[in-house]
Structure 1
Amino acid sequence: MKNIFNKWWGTASVFVAGVAMLSSCNKELPQPTPIVPPTPSGQTITQLLAGNAKYSILRAAITRAGTALTFNPSDASAVYTVFAPDNDAFIASGIPNETVVGGLPVATVASILNAHVIPGVELKAADLSTAFPNMYLQSGLVLSSTPPIPYRMPVFPSRRTGGAWFNDIAIKATDIDASNGVIHEVSRVFFPPSQVIAQVAAANSNLTYLMAALQRADAGPPAGAPQLIPILSNAAANLTVFAPTNQAFQNLFTAMGLPTAITTINALPTQTVWGIVAFHVLGSRAFSVNLAAGNSTAASIMGVAQQINVTGGTVTVRGPGNVLPTTPATPYSATVTAPNINAINGVVHVVDAVLLPQ
């Protein structure tokens, strides 16, 4: 297996405007008329929320956050897209009432609310893309304002046959118009992640074999290939990782006739391990709700396509090498057992088998 990954790694319009010459003959040129934007009419986002009892917890959260918010829903001159959790959404997410909101730290409440707002954009349901990869938009939650990479928490609204989504959260009501933007009602609260993918994996005791494989791969990647842990640690990246469990690695080693101990990973060639691990990473964020029903493919960062199947809500994925010596004509698939683990720079789906690109 050690050499199979080397062969694939390698790789104004000018507008001219004519200038019209004006002869005045002592005539005074007309003065330009100022363009005055129309005054917004109707209710602001604040007024719409205030007029509906089902948003009482959200109103309490806005009050609790106060000046820590990066948006002002009362500003009639602003434009926002708000993905608004109603009371049922807060309750489903473990925040049952206004009293609980009032007991949360201000910074926590503000970060949650800021992540539900896209400032400067009025995004209607018809504007949501049905294509994949999803729309990549920045929320009002500032992750870093320090040069050279100031950035905010990205969010991924989308529309599919089964409905509209805010990340992996269902949108249950769309296009509630306000004078300063639009509200889409969501079914759960989005809790912004605080870790990148590498940290998520390192903190999961069921992914210790994967972390060992990442470290082994980075000890000697193919010529010109990047190390993987820095990629998974890049907060500005946008990735999907299908993460095999410890048992998944042990099952693979058993099928290969190797010891099931984690030390087996360090006995494999580094380039082989790099190719296997890189095959589990997609270069875009794919929540389970964004994957097409039936069969589809998605290219990994190593260039080899994964085969993905979605049937009745169950997601399976496999690679060209996912066959057993005893049944070479019947490829086996990895099943997603824990989907949509959010990270700052992507999403992790835990799977029960190791994917093999070759």
Structure 2
Amino acid sequence: MTLSKHPASGRQWGLLSVLLIAVVVSFSACKSNDDNTPAPKTINDLISAGNGTTNQFTIFKKALQLANLSGPLSQAGTYTVFAPTDAAFRLFGYADTNAIKAPSAAPLLAAVVQYHILSTRLEASAIPTAINTAQQTLSGGTLYTSKVASATGTSTSVSVNGAHVLSSNSDASNGVIHVIDRVLLPPAFGNVVATIQGIPSILPTASFTFLQAAIAKIGTTAVSSLTSTGPITVFAPTDAAFTAAVPTIKTAADVSAMTAQQLTAILSYHIVPGRIYTPTVTNGTSLTTAQTGTVTLGTSTTSVTVTGKGNGSTASNITGPDITATNGVVHIIDRLLLPQ
């Protein structure tokens, strides 16, 4: 007996074949789209692109290139980069990429750039709500992150070595970027005494010959905390700061003519215990100095000041804040602090 094909059965098999072909074609299309998916951007990609239509990292990008770090930040890893904006570099005295390429910038460039990078991924949420949490940098140095709650408790501010984090958690395939408003300086010079001596090499407008004359007159042993392990914070008056507070002091010789006792009392009044970065202070904070006097900090949206008991209502402006030393922090000030 010959079996005949059922017409309905043939139609079903034909429909099934069409469906199978459609599934295969659809799967192949999806696979093709998956293969064309752009790879996640690296930290170097994001720094090179900047933000939106304007690249705010042109100087930092060039600094990374000159320090031979563009390559590593293009590869797999778990980095954290605190990225200074172009405005931060200009504030530091570097107007453009030509300035960062200058021979005078070369000796410290690699150290400065590496100091902005951690070898581990650190999300903003993982930064403790605390002052000066130590973080190890790519070069083996130490950064200090701080997270401070607002007075109302509704928000927090994050800073690193005194630089404000303007925006955080720009995700990359190999880490995260936090945008900061200041260039971070590693403690390349040493303790606060060596740092004060070294600052003019990177900030030529800062002159400390009067302060150095005072230290030479009394010796660091007389103010032992200057070279101690610390941490300490030093308010460093420029030459102009001496004259602004005491007009009769016009030269380093005038400082050297003062007695060791006078100079010890004055210098001790510029030292306070602890590592104090400006974003962590509040208006009206009173600090006890090394000679048991007090100075008062003032803050506003545009400045931070410090006032001594003998300065009356005339505050000293912190013109060069948050310079890190191995044993503390140096703040450049524009008026000598006078004890009562």
Distance of 1:59 and 1:280 partners within structure 2 = 38
How far has the Cα of 1:91 moved from its partner? 7.3
Judging changes above 3 Å, is the alpha-carbon distance between structure 1 residues 183 and 216 closer, same or farther for their aligned structure 2 residues?
same
Amino acid at match of 1:279: Y
The answer to whether the 8 Å contact 2:143/2:160 transfers is yes
Partner deviation per Cα, 1:128-152 (whole Å, 9 max, x = no partner): 45544x233332235xxxxxxxxx2
Could you tell me which residue of structure 2 aligns to residue 175 of structure 1?
Answer: 169
More helix by percentage: 2
The answer to whether the 8 Å contact 2:206/2:238 transfers is no
Please tell me the root mean square deviation across aligned C-alpha atoms, in Å: 4.2
Amino acid at match of 1:172: L
Judging changes above 3 Å, is the alpha-carbon distance between structure 1 residues 339 and 90 closer, same or farther for their aligned structure 2 residues?
closer
Partner deviation per Cα, 1:269-303 (whole Å, 9 max, x = no partner): 434422321220233333333321x2112233444
Could you tell me which residue of structure 2 aligns to residue 136 of structure 1?
Answer: 134
The answer to whether the 8 Å contact 1:220/1:271 transfers is no
Partner deviation per Cα, 1:171-198 (whole Å, 9 max, x = no partner): 2221123454322123454454643443
Could you tell me which residue of structure 2 aligns to residue 276 of structure 1?
Answer: 266
Amino acid at match of 1:308: L
The answer to whether the 8 Å contact 1:238/1:284 transfers is yes
1:159 aligns with 2:147: yes
Distance of 1:310 and 1:87 partners within structure 2 = 25
Judging changes above 3 Å, is the alpha-carbon distance between structure 1 residues 311 and 205 closer, same or farther for their aligned structure 2 residues?
closer
Could you tell me which residue of structure 1 aligns to residue 275 of structure 2?
Answer: 285
Judging changes above 3 Å, is the alpha-carbon distance between structure 1 residues 75 and 107 closer, same or farther for their aligned structure 2 residues?
farther
SS of alignment partner, residue 73 of structure 1: helix
Could you tell me which residue of structure 2 aligns to residue 22 of structure 1?
Answer: none
Judging changes above 3 Å, is the alpha-carbon distance between structure 1 residues 227 and 281 closer, same or farther for their aligned structure 2 residues?
closer
Partner deviation per Cα, 1:105-140 (whole Å, 9 max, x = no partner): 8875533331111223x32223445544x2333322
Instruction: Give structure 2 stretches of 5+ with no counterpart.
Output: 1-38, 151-155
Could you tell me which residue of structure 1 aligns to residue 116 of structure 2?
Answer: 116
Could you tell me which residue of structure 2 aligns to residue 338 of structure 1?
Answer: 319
Distance of 1:259 and 1:100 partners within structure 2 = 36
Judging changes above 3 Å, is the alpha-carbon distance between structure 1 residues 183 and 218 closer, same or farther for their aligned structure 2 residues?
same
Give the alignment partner of residue 353 of structure 1, picking from 327, 330, 336. Answer: 336
Distance of 2:65 and 2:337 partners within structure 1 = 48
Q: TM-score, normalised by structure 1?
A: 0.60
How far has the Cα of 1:312 moved from its partner? 4.3
1:300 aligns with 2:297: no
Distance of 2:163 and 2:143 partners within structure 1 = 11
Amino acid at match of 1:318: T
The answer to whether the 8 Å contact 1:314/1:335 transfers is no
How far has the Cα of 1:84 moved from its partner? 2.5
Distance of 1:181 and 1:140 partners within structure 2 = 13
Could you tell me which residue of structure 1 aligns to residue 29 of structure 2?
Answer: none
Structure 1 segment 242-261 matched on structure 2, within 5 A = 242-250=235-243
Could you tell me which residue of structure 1 aligns to residue 18 of structure 2?
Answer: none
SS of alignment partner, residue 111 of structure 1: helix
1:185 aligns with 2:186: no
Amino acid at match of 1:157: T
Instruction: Give structure 1 stretches of 5+ with no counterpart.
Output: 1-41, 143-151, 324-330
Partner deviation per Cα, 1:12-71 (whole Å, 9 max, x = no partner): xxxxxxxxxxxxxxxxxxxxxxxxxxxxxx9474476389454684556545433xx599
Distance of 2:44 and 2:145 partners within structure 1 = 25
Judging changes above 3 Å, is the alpha-carbon distance between structure 1 residues 212 and 90 closer, same or farther for their aligned structure 2 residues?
closer
Amino acid at match of 2:117: V
Judging changes above 3 Å, is the alpha-carbon distance between structure 1 residues 271 and 70 closer, same or farther for their aligned structure 2 residues?
farther
Judging changes above 3 Å, is the alpha-carbon distance between structure 1 residues 157 and 71 closer, same or farther for their aligned structure 2 residues?
farther
Distance of 1:205 and 1:90 partners within structure 2 = 17
Task: Kindly indicate whether structure 1 or structure 2 has the higher relative contact order, using CA contacts under 8 Å at least 6 residues apart.
Answer: 1
Could you tell me which residue of structure 2 aligns to residue 32 of structure 1?
Answer: none
Larger radius of gyration, structure 1 or 2? 2
Amino acid at match of 2:136: Q
Partner deviation per Cα, 1:203-247 (whole Å, 9 max, x = no partner): 4774332222222222873xxx6274x45xxxx754432123445
Judging changes above 3 Å, is the alpha-carbon distance between structure 1 residues 50 and 291 closer, same or farther for their aligned structure 2 residues?
closer
The answer to whether the 8 Å contact 1:218/1:274 transfers is no
How far has the Cα of 1:248 moved from its partner? 4.5
How far has the Cα of 1:310 moved from its partner? 1.8
